[in-house]
Structure 1
Amino acid sequence: MMQNLHQLKESPSQTAGPYVHIGCMPNFLGNTGTYPVDLGVSPMLDGALGQAITITGRVIDGAGMVLRDVMIESWQADAAGHYPGQPGADANVTGWARFAADFDTGFWTLHTIKPGRAPAPNGQLMTPHIALWIVARGINIGLQTRICFADEAPANAACPVLARVEHKDRIATLLAHATAPGTYSFDIHLQGDAETVFFDI
């Protein structure tokens, strides 16, 4: 029997722990044979429309240490700003991916297509962005942030979500910067003066 919603209590959260990859990304660790491929290995299929891009970055803690055991999930629209299941959505864009940092270097990499401007719930167009969910040892509740793009200045200025960031100088912490054509860099800082903007979702 389903409980009434007002009787349900929030379950306590806990850190992802050092072994989250074993259950979520066994092939990434070399534990093959359980699944043909890990879930979310790519947010797109062959034939996806739009500009193919590669984003690399690190997750850095308050002491300046690079987290080498971080796992990240991403969610995005297609190049036209449609999410999977919406009318007109690109069937070759799943929108969701799961990836992890390299245990030796601490760098993570996302190969995807640059998303278009999707509408916010109020109908205003958001800037092109990729939503991220971040978990690692010591993070008790998964962190939510976004990758926006520094080369989308007009869209960034008109984005209703970025407009809600109170301290405007911190919007820079959400911007990926082009390092070469089709290649971007985006570091995530958990604490400190350069702390990335995180969203309470």
Structure 2
Amino acid sequence: MTTLKQTPSQTVGPYFAYGLCPQQYNYDLKSLFSPVIATPEAAGEHIALVGRVFDGDGNVVGDAVLEFTQVDDAGRYPASREEAAASGFRGFARVGTGTDAQNRFVVHTVKPGRTSETGAPHVDVTVMMRGILTHAFTRIYFDDEAAANETDAVLESVPAERRATLIAKRDAQANGVTIYRFDIRMQGEQETVFFDV
């Protein structure tokens, strides 16, 4: 009988990156989700969310996995797989940070609409990586939605001096796609705000 060694103990990562996003890491396995929330056929303003994850020492993390959830440009989640396939908007993406030379994440989507009169457009983000004991939850708001951001109850609950850690910065346009920059800092003076969900 063959005796197998015990699997190494882990915190939340780093095995998730390779197991949850195998195609992005060039493994010959099918990924359940990709870094594409909205295909080019989806309605709305097409954007790319681009950034990196930094650990407490300011080092770029190359083996984190991020999950993104959002509504479409009309403020709705897809009601079914069929609706998501027909509209080109699935509402969810998963991406690893070690898939390019800069260890960036790049998510292709459309700018989300408002979910209510007082809710600002935002994207919910789940972070999984080595060194943390459970998932970390944050949000991405947009710097060009200042009026809507002022009425968002979740953003308003964050101390004013920390809100900037939740705001993506509008950058250049490339091929009709607006790029928003958003880095996630796990610890330190510029630590991103994380929520207890």
TM-score per shorter chain, which class?
0.7 to 0.9
Which runs of 5 or more structure 1 residues have no equivalent in the other structure?
1-13
Are the structure 2 counterparts of residues 61 and 22 from structure 1 closer, same or farther at C-alpha, using a change threshold of 3 Å?
closer
Partner of 1:8: none
Partner of 1:153: 146
Does structure 1 retain, via aligned residues, the 8 Å contact 2:39–2:109?
no
Matched, 1:64 2:61: no
* Distance apart, 1:126 and its partner CA: 1.1
State the alpha-carbon separation in 2 of the partners of residues 153 and 46 from structure 1.
Answer: 27
Partner of 2:4: none
Query: Superposed, which structure 2 residues align to 1:115-194 within 5 Å?
Result: 115-119=112-116, 124-165=117-158, 167-181=159-173, 182-194=178-190
Query: What SS class does the counterpart of residue 59 from structure 1 fall into?
Result: strand
Does structure 1 retain, via aligned residues, the 8 Å contact 2:65–2:94?
yes
Matched, 1:102 2:94: no
Q: 2:69 aligns with which of 68, 72, 75?
A: 75
Tell me how large the CA RMSD over aligned residues is: 1.7
TM-score normalised by structure 1 residue count:
0.83
Does structure 1 retain, via aligned residues, the 8 Å contact 2:54–2:184?
yes
Query: What SS class does the counterpart of residue 23 from structure 2 fall into?
Result: coil
Query: What SS class does the counterpart of residue 21 from structure 1 fall into?
Result: helix
State the alpha-carbon separation in 2 of the partners of residues 51 and 80 from structure 1.
Answer: 11
Which runs of 5 or more structure 2 residues have no equivalent in the other structure?
1-9
Deviates further, 70-79 or 174-183 = 174-183
State the alpha-carbon separation in 1 of the partners of residues 182 and 89 from structure 2.
Answer: 22
CA deviation map 1:161-188 (0-9, x unaligned): 11111x1111110000011131110011
* Distance apart, 1:92 and its partner CA: 2.5
* Distance apart, 1:16 and its partner CA: 2.4
- State percent identity of aligned pairs: 39
Matched, 1:51 2:45: yes
CA deviation map 1:96-130 (0-9, x unaligned): 000011353221111110000013xxxx5311000
Does structure 1 retain, via aligned residues, the 8 Å contact 2:21–2:33?
no
Q: 2:110 aligns with which of 110, 113, 124?
A: 113
Q: How many residues align?
A: 178
- Structure having the higher helix fraction is 2
Query: What SS class does the counterpart of residue 108 from structure 2 fall into?
Result: strand
State the alpha-carbon separation in 2 of the partners of residues 26 and 183 from structure 1.
Answer: 25
Matched, 1:31 2:27: yes
* Distance apart, 1:46 and its partner CA: 4.2
Query: What SS class does the counterpart of residue 58 from structure 1 fall into?
Result: strand
